[in-house]
Structure 1
């Protein structure tokens, strides 16, 4: 299309030559092979050069009239330089020339070269369907964008209204505090004036008594020191009586005043706690419609419970985490710290780390109101106890019969392959409830993996063996049954769509194209009973469990052996299911004794996580939130344990 745009532009007057850059004139023709515009001089030279004289040159007048097909650049084969790519090998998914079909892509069971036009037409039809889907999605997104714009406008108004309300509320609180302060200051002033008056009155009384006693003292002293005998005898009795009267008089020497001081009826610290509850935010949350998902809890691990806040229209709504409060108590009634963190889509994650096992109580409130079901009973398990069991022996909904393969789908649910029931059953990873199931073909279904588009790939051995791809809804899309596949067991898929399948008869791992064509065999001569597979694409490593050899072998994607796990003593005992954690550690389940072991990226043993108790563990998977799920063949169940 870009070639066509350049050619059409070249048909316009004044466009310079792209070779001499206009030195010899404007563009007069277009080379469909080189995709360049040429002037008359450069066109003449182009026709003389051996490498370009056979190129298709389109004159200016043709460019003005012809359609897009005339101006598309011709593509030539990398191997046969002079041959145009006119065919498409459907087996190899590659463009080829006619010369390629003689040797490398000879028509037959391994290659199917067809005309490009036919394949391109199918692809165009597919793209047209996708375009219709895009148009529909664009309309949905446009409507949603308009809704978001409306909500943004409401948000601004909501902020302004809430801000004014908050300011008015705290102004009233401030006014109340100032009023109370003035009341206390007035009380202090009133008390001070009353006490001062009482003390002044007492002081006057004492001064009066003091003055009388002082006068009598002075008179008595003068009579005693300066009076004649006659004078002393005349007034002596009178003075004596006066003094004795004053001394005998009981003078109240108490002021009856006690010092006053300000007291804090409510301490500042206590008020600070209460202050936190002054005001707050309330959103359009309908507490009665809020949903709480209690996830399995294990002692010593970070555990979570997820709250989804809902509005009156029963739609998830975003609210501030401060609106949500969570309080947890352990079996002894001791408070356990919790943390509330806002996630997307109206979800609030309530996390905690339990220190003991047993029944815990979790109280969840939104806008100070209890959500439905609160307080929740949460049973905290020990590390070696499974936190969830899916299924029991049977063929009904939620029942399992000889489960083998297990995988995590794009929604985080657990998909389990049942060999006897010949179906895949999908379970909720949090509750263990069966969500749906779909039948699978083949005599003995075994391995399962989910590709990047969310489709299920299921292997089966025995009669009608093969690798089958199913849609998310469980519809059979296609079956891969090439000659190289004999007894497929475990399967994994790479990001580019290639598949790796363990084949018991071939005693190797088969690296296949997305349609099942063999790329190469890996592990031939090293493997005895290959069962399950995991791929570490960050290191281009493929890991294969070897049941009878008691090993897990590692190869690169070219098939070169790298290292193995086990093989010494009883480190591994009939290993089957494999998984990789985000750090690249290798998780292995032993069918022989149920141990789930972890090895480092280099094969060094790290630890034993747990011993599965369900019986006959087969497939293994690790969920994104850190739980191991293992299919127990003889126990007819799938067990879930905490990994990290």
Structure 2
């Protein structure tokens, strides 16, 4: 014990880490680190809240401030012990008279002071100190236990009384006098001898220490594992670098090989075309020489030959020239050139390159910062929930597939629905794919590194196929509310553009949550159709006194108005990629194909349409689909104005139409048609063959549009909303 205590008394263990001097009145912070009282007081005036200088743990000071912190008497005792050992040596002056270096010396335990023989005699005679415990130097030198050098602690109220009791009710050390006056035993106070409390605290601390040692051993083993993992990390980095280098070198070799093949083909093609042109040129040069020679001969005969010469060679020359003139020589060079074509677009290839391997890790993942976005699924159709992984700073971080688990269970804990994980953005985003088999509330549990991400498990309500997944708006005129929506379109960013006939405005909504993003008025009556172009501009048709087609920027600024005399009662409108427009004209019973500036290209469907409403264009096939409301059918023209075919007849059976309104196309060329009369939204093949019914709406559906995520947006005219249904 003595040697251990001696080792504890090195200067570092007795040094305050703020002032770097020996402790002066050391105070203990809640984190068990000790500092000088004055150092903490000065630090507290500069730093709010106070943090421990060693471990940076925030400190909540008691009401008394730094003075309210516990004193570190163990350190004080070590300092006393060190002072005693030093003072027992020769040449150390008395701490009272600062002399008396020689002769007998004594240590006052109560005052913690080293005294010479003369001062010791006086100390023992003074009334205030005569009861102090004074120990001669010879005894001190023989003492090996630091516990013997503990200062006696006196009551701040009764100065001559030692603190020997502990009031459990007040949580305070008290003296014998206090137990009679201020802490009399009873209902409010319970003083107990310090020795009894100390023994109990020792037992508790020993029990805790018995738990600490195994934990320390466990942590030491963990540190060894960290060292091993760091070594493995270095190895994995080197291995990954080698793998990535080899992988991309292989890709580069393939590209270089293909480059050599293409360059060789270019040279071969060049030589082939050049050889053909050389042959053609030689043939023309030979014909030119023959004909020029014949011309020279004939010219000389005509200009300079006598009659006898003309008679002798004239017929021969005539046959020669006639023969040369009749020779079939190709005077037009072969119209060919060496041309390289990109079979894979560079922009598309760039996207593919970004998927050529990912670097992932799970060390930095913070599950509390990960996010899962769930979308309302439909029974029997594949649905996607999205996991976005992040680090403790909330920044996106890539993880590997093995670190993620996603489990979807059916209603009432029925069997799990199979899930599939697909990586995006180099493993920073993961699509969770599943196809529920029954409707009702499902439970989606998502874990990263075997820990639930924030919000997991998630409630996922699976709906039937004919139920609206998202409903945008409700009846009203406030922003976000809707009244008589007549048409709907999807802009280039996938947002839902809604044209309201009564409120005379455009509102743009988020397709995922249905919240309004922007709103601007349309200064016109009789609003009917809307569409967007490739630049995000909006087109709106109106009939009546202010008829025409209006072009707006995505911010709602009016850019142009087209109202030529040949456009009289426009309804639906569709915009092509090159900026041309097609507008249905109710009064003229036809559709007008217009240039981007509004000038007329041609009229389509004259005499073949009764009541054209909405239009959808399949540019890949050059076809235009027009709903004929009164004829209860869809009529299909090409953009040259030729009637190609039509489908539908009046009725309410599958494949029959009843006052068709909105029409749109899916990427496969299938035709989606809404019926105003019975509310059905049906799907037909590219040739007009009936495929299925998406839903039956009770809101008199008008305009239709298909979102990039595969939802059919239906403008419910009398339902005063836009409903989104799962389409695929």
- TM-score, length of structure 1 as denominator length: 0.55
Structure 2 matches for 1:96-495, cutoff 5 A? 159-160=237-238, 281-333=361-413, 334-344=415-425, 346-495=428-577
Residues 185-214 of structure 1: CA distance to partner in whole angstroms, max 9, x if unpaired?
Answer: xxxxxxxxxxxxxxxxxxxxxxxxxxxxxx
Is 1:625 the equivalent of 2:703? Answer: no
CA distance in 2, matches of 1:606, 1:162: 51
Cα drift, residue 161 of structure 1: 9.8
Cα deviation 1:45-89 (Å, max 9, x = unaligned): xxxxxxxxxxxxxxxxxxxxxxxxxxxxxxxxxxxxxxxxxxxxx
Cα pair 2:507 2:518 within 8 Å, conserved: yes
Q: Indicate the larger mover: 606-615 or 447-456.
A: 606-615
Q: Report the Cα offset of residue 285 of structure 1.
A: 3.5
In the alignment, the residues of structure 2 paired with residue 293 and residue 360 of structure 1 have an alpha-carbon distance, to the nearest angstrom, of 15
User: How many angstroms does 1:313 deviate by?
Assistant: 4.4
Structure 1 residues 312, 421: closer, same or farther in 2, change over 3 A? farther
- Partner of 1:287: helix, strand, or coil? coil
Q: How many residues align?
A: 374
Out of 569, 583, 593, the residue aligned to residue 668 of structure 2 is 583
Gaps of 5+ in 1: 1-154, 165-279
- State whether residues 614 and 639 of structure 1, in contact with CA within 8 Å, keep that contact through their aligned partners in structure 2: no
Deviation at 1:561, TM superposition (A): 0.9
Aligned residue number for residue 597 of structure 1? 682
| Structure-1 separation of matches of 2:691 and 2:711 | 18
Deviation at 1:419, TM superposition (A): 1.1
d(CA) in 2 for partners of 1:317, 1:572 = 52
Contact kept? 2:650, 2:658, Cα under 8 Å: no
**Counterparts of 1:478 and 1:312, CA distance in 2:** 50
Aligned-residue offset at 1:508:
0.9
Residue pair 2:361, 2:398 contacting (<8 A) in 1 also: no
Compared CA separation, residues 469 and 350, structure 1 to 2 (3 A): same
Secondary structure at 2:725 match in 1: strand
CA offset at residue 505 of structure 1?
1.6
Question: Does residue 1:639 correspond to 2:723, yes or no?
Answer: yes
Q: Which runs of 5 or more residues in structure 2 are unaligned?
A: 1-232, 243-359
Distance (whole Å) between structure 1 residues aligned to residue 235 and residue 573 of structure 2: 56
8 Å CA contact 2:376–2:469 kept in 1: the answer is yes
After TM superposition, give the deviation of residue 412 of structure 1 in Å.
1.3
Shift of 1:493: 1.1
Q: Give the deviation of 1:156 after TM superposition.
A: 10
1: distance between equivalents of 2:401 and 2:593? 49
Judged with a 3 Å threshold, the aligned counterparts in structure 2 of structure 1 residues 451 and 284 are, in CA distance, closer, same or farther, namely farther
**Deviations along 1:475-502, whole A, 9 cap, x unmatched?**
2222222222222211111121111111
1: CA distance, partners of 2:676 / 2:696: 10
Matches of 2:391 and 2:564 in 1, distance apart?
A: 54
Are residues 156 and 587 of structure 1, via their aligned partners in 2, closer, same or farther at CA, if it must alter by over 3 Å? farther
1:560–1:283: structure 2 CA closer, same or farther, 3 Å change rule?
Answer: farther
Aligned counterparts of 1:436 and 1:284: Cα–Cα separation in 2: 38
CA contact (8 A) 1:407 1:414 kept: yes
Structure 1 158/612 Cα, relative in aligned 2: closer, same or farther at 3 Å?
A: farther
The CA distance in 1 between the partners of 2:445 and 2:541, in whole Å, is 46
- Indicate the residue corresponding to 2:296 in structure 1: none
Distance in 2, matches of 1:282 and 1:350, equals 18
- Could you tell me how far 1:569 is from its partner in structure 2? 4.6
**1:297 aligned counterpart, secondary structure:** coil
The answer to whether the 8 A contact 1:294-1:378 is kept is: yes
State the alpha-carbon separation in 1 of the partners of residues 396 and 505 from structure 2. 34
The secondary structure found in structure 2 opposite 1:519 is strand
Q: Whole-Å Cα distance in 1 between the matches of residues 538 and 720 of structure 2?
A: 22
Are 1:296 and 1:430, in contact at CA under 8 Å, matched by a contact in 2? no
Deviation of residue 398 (structure 1)? 2.0
Higher Rg: 2
Kindly tell me: are residues 398 and 285 of structure 1, through their superposed partners in 2, closer, same or farther at Cα, counting changes over 3 Å?
A: farther
Q: Deviations over 1:493-542 (max 9, x none)?
A: 11211111111122111101112111011111111211100011111111
Cα distance in 1 between the residues matched to 2:421 and 2:480: 33
Distance (Å, rounded) in 2 between the aligned partners of 1:286 and 1:447:
48
Return the TM-score normalized by structure 2.
Answer: 0.49
Q: CA RMSD in A?
A: 2.3
The 3 A distance-change label for structure 1 pair 450 and 309 is farther
Deviation at 1:447, TM superposition (A): 1.2
Once residues 364 and 426 of structure 1 are traced to their aligned partners in structure 2, the CA distance between those partners, rounded to angstroms, is: 33
Measure the CA separation in 2 of the matches of 1:563 and 1:156.
68
SS of residue paired to 2:592: strand
